[in-house]
Chains A and B, each alone.
Chain A
Amino acid sequence: MRPNIVVTKAGPRKTTRMRRLAKSPVMLNWMYLPALLLFAVFIYYPFFRGLLISFTDWDGYSQMFHYIGIDNYKRMLSDSRVHTVIINTLIYGLGSTLFQNIIGLLYALLLNKHGKGRTFVRVIVYIPAIVSPIIMGYIWYFLLQYNGGAINDIITAFAGHPVNLLGDPKVNVWIIMVVNTYQFLGVAMMIFLSGLQGISKDYYEAAEIDGASTMNRFFNITFPLLAPALTTSIILNLIGGLKLFDVIAALTNGGPGYASASLSTMMYQLYFARQDAGLAASLGNLMFLLITVISLTSLYFLRRKELSQ
């Protein structure tokens, strides 16, 4: 093959400057310009504009505003409602991630090789993940509502009276976390299943010859080799949970007050209902910082663990 190329290049064909330019790698970079332009206009420009807005007292619609320094950030960090909302966001993000991964892994082990109809069960577990989260919120509303909710029918049968599952700030945050876990559990399961299928049978055969117990095999073969799958699953679930919006909007709208709000829904309400655009922008920046720091540090530690094994 090689000599052919040389012959062609040295052949009688005229290699003008234009022609050489057309073949150079640099000329290809035009191909990513449309994508880069979109990123610049719809992500990077608004991001920097958002930094500026967070230093103003802008109300979101008028032309008038003043620069007020870091007042919004001070107001945000001293507001106890914001503290609750940050804790809620962490419950939605970290809580869902924990349960999605534990249950997702158990399901993957259950549905990997044994049992009849396991493909059917996988489909059932995964279907919620492809339904719109806002619709998933409405579906759960039918289960959780105070009057005539499906779950309250059962509670009434045992306790004699329904329980205010969505209105009580002590429980609704956890319920929202469970609904999000239920919806995206299937994603974790699928990631683990594809991870399990990548593990060679030879390891298990060798372990069997050495007389390793089932537990031993799981902790010394399966789990370490699932590390890349675990990383992907954790990062995906973290990002999904920390930005939770739709399910909250459907079930409690963040209420009562901001008791079950996440940073996303609080920001939305500050902007559209309270006309506090400056504070909303600061909250957006806080959310950006929180998600970036949490996902990058987890990524760093998970990757390091992958390498050491």
Chain B
Amino acid sequence: MKQRKRTIIYTVIGLFVALVHIIPFYILLTVSFKDMRDMSSKWAFPGYWFTGNFISAWQNAHLDRAFLNTGVITVLSVALILIFGSLAAFPLARYQSKLNKWVYGIFVSALIVPPLTILVPLYKFFVDIGFMNTYFGIVLLHVTFQLSMAIFLYTSFIGTIPRELDEAAMIDGATKTGMFFRIIMPLLKPVTATIVIMNANSIWNDYQFSLFFLQKPDSRTITVALSSFFGENSAQIGWIAAGSLLAAIPSILVYILLQKYFVDGIAAGAVKG
């Protein structure tokens, strides 16, 4: 009886919490679908489906180009993070010499440093070497600043792979490098999935790097396209809402389908510290 009462109370409070947290998204929906001439409160859901905001946002913010840019940058960055991250983690996990401990420290220490603190010199450097407004430049930046997390996760994961596997490969005459590619790499799938999901999400959502280093209209990512839109048309609330909704939907869908990987990434940090 006591148990049942507790279940009911917890359920009611839980649903109330969900209700409060969903309010901003509810408002986003009503604003997105409401005709601009409709002056009713944002709380009132429009009784009609007005799609004009989506069409205007898509055309005026050039969202087709922005989605393409964001997609290309995300895919290239994640691919390089996986390659460089797993390569770097192998010697760091397997051969803990003094040198390698230092190198690991260098990689992980960058987890604390926000890229913004070096904005001024980084921007100057990008202008000097002609990396402004290029896929290449922004991809390398994303890779550099996301690598710490990938190396951290890969190193601790490789640490859990039994060394007997290495020895067996050695008996078969594999070189150390060959061993990595043939034995270790295929075993990294679960942690790789986590890294892909976490990094793809944060690169897709990035605003700061894109704002600083992709300033030409052609090279804009979704977040920058929306923000330039916000500055010019802050009266066109409906367009901004529709654009924001379009930008957020892919992340939300991926999260709902692949929740496990998001949670694993966070949990890894919680256990290892």
A residues apposed to B, CB below 8 Å: 1, 4-5, 8, 13, 22-25, 27-29, 31-32, 34-36, 38-39, 41-43, 45-47, 49-50, 53, 60, 107, 110-111, 114-118, 120-121, 123-128, 130-136, 138-140, 142-143, 148-150, 153, 182, 187, 190-191, 194-195, 198, 228-229, 231-233, 236, 239, 242-243, 245-246, 249-250, 264, 267-268, 271, 277, 280-281, 284-285, 287-288, 291-292, 295-296, 303
Contacts and interface: CB of A to CB of B under 8 A. Distances in A.
B18 A134 contact: no
Contact of B252 (A5, A28, A111, A130): A130
Contacts of B171: 4-5, 8
Nearest to B172: A8
A267 B119 contact: yes
B245 to A, nearest CB: 9
Given A29-B91, A107-B17, 6 more contacts: A23-B175, A25-B95, A36-B88, A36-B103, A150-B41, A195-B270
Contacts of A153: 41-43
Contacts of A232: 269-270, 273
Contact of A25 (B27, B42, B94): B94
Contacts of B24: 128, 136, 139-140, 142-143, 182
B176 A142 contact: no
B208 A245 contact: yes
Contacts of B6: 114
B125 to A, nearest CB: 6
A239 B114 contact: yes
A162 to B, nearest CB: 12
Contacts of A292: 112-113
Interface stretch (B46-54, B137-145, B187-195): B137-145
Please classify the interface of chain B as helix (H, G, I), strand (E, B), loop, or mixed, using the class held by over half of its residues: helix
Interface in B79-125: 84-85, 87-88, 90-92, 94-95, 97, 99-100, 103, 106-107, 110-114, 116-125
A29 B43 CA distance: 59
28 contacts: A4-B171, A8-B173, A22-B177, A28-B90, A29-B99, A29-B100, A31-B87, A31-B180, A32-B91, A34-B88, A39-B106, A46-B121, A50-B117, A115-B10, A120-B18, A123-B255, A132-B204, A133-B207, A139-B27, A139-B244, A142-B27, A143-B27, A143-B42, A153-B43, A195-B270, A232-B270, A271-B123, A291-B113
Interface string B55-86: 00000000000000000000000000000110
A245 B211 CA distance: 12
Contact of A191 (B99, B226, B230, B266): B266
A46 B28 contact: no
Contact of A115 (B11, B41, B88): B11
Interface of B: 6-7, 9-11, 13-15, 17-18, 21-25, 27-28, 31, 39, 41-43, 84-85, 87-88, 90-92, 94-95, 97, 99-100, 103, 106-107, 110-114, 116-125, 140-141, 143-145, 147, 151, 164, 167, 170-171, 173, 175-177, 180, 201, 204-208, 223, 226-227, 230, 237, 240-241, 244, 247-248, 251-252, 255-256, 259, 262-263, 266-267, 269-271, 273
Given A127-B25, A190-B263, A291-B117, A5 B170 contact: yes
Q: What are the 6 closest A-B residue pairs judged by CB atoms, nearest first?
A: A115-B10, A132-B205, A32-B88, A243-B114, A194-B267, A28-B91
A142 B116 contact: no
Contacts of B144: 38-39, 41-43
B273 A132 contact: no
A32 B103 contact: yes
Contact of A28 (B95, B110, B204): B95
A47 B114 CA distance: 11
Contact of B118 (A43, A115, A148, A233): A43
User: Which interface residue of A43, A124, A125 has the most chain B CB atoms within 10 A?
Assistant: A43
B120 A264 contact: no
B197 to A, nearest CB: 10
A127 B255 contact: yes
Contact of B241 (A34, A116, A138, A228): A138
A134 B207 contact: yes
A114 B237 CA distance: 41
A149 B27 CA distance: 10
Given A34-B88, A123-B256, A28 B176 contact: yes
Nearest to B127: A61
A35 B145 CA distance: 10
A142 B28 contact: yes
A49 B125 contact: yes
A117 B19 CA distance: 13
Contacts of A131: 205, 248, 251-252
A35 B87 contact: yes
B107 A39 contact: yes
Contacts of B164: 1
Contacts of A148: 39, 41-42
A35 B269 CA distance: 21
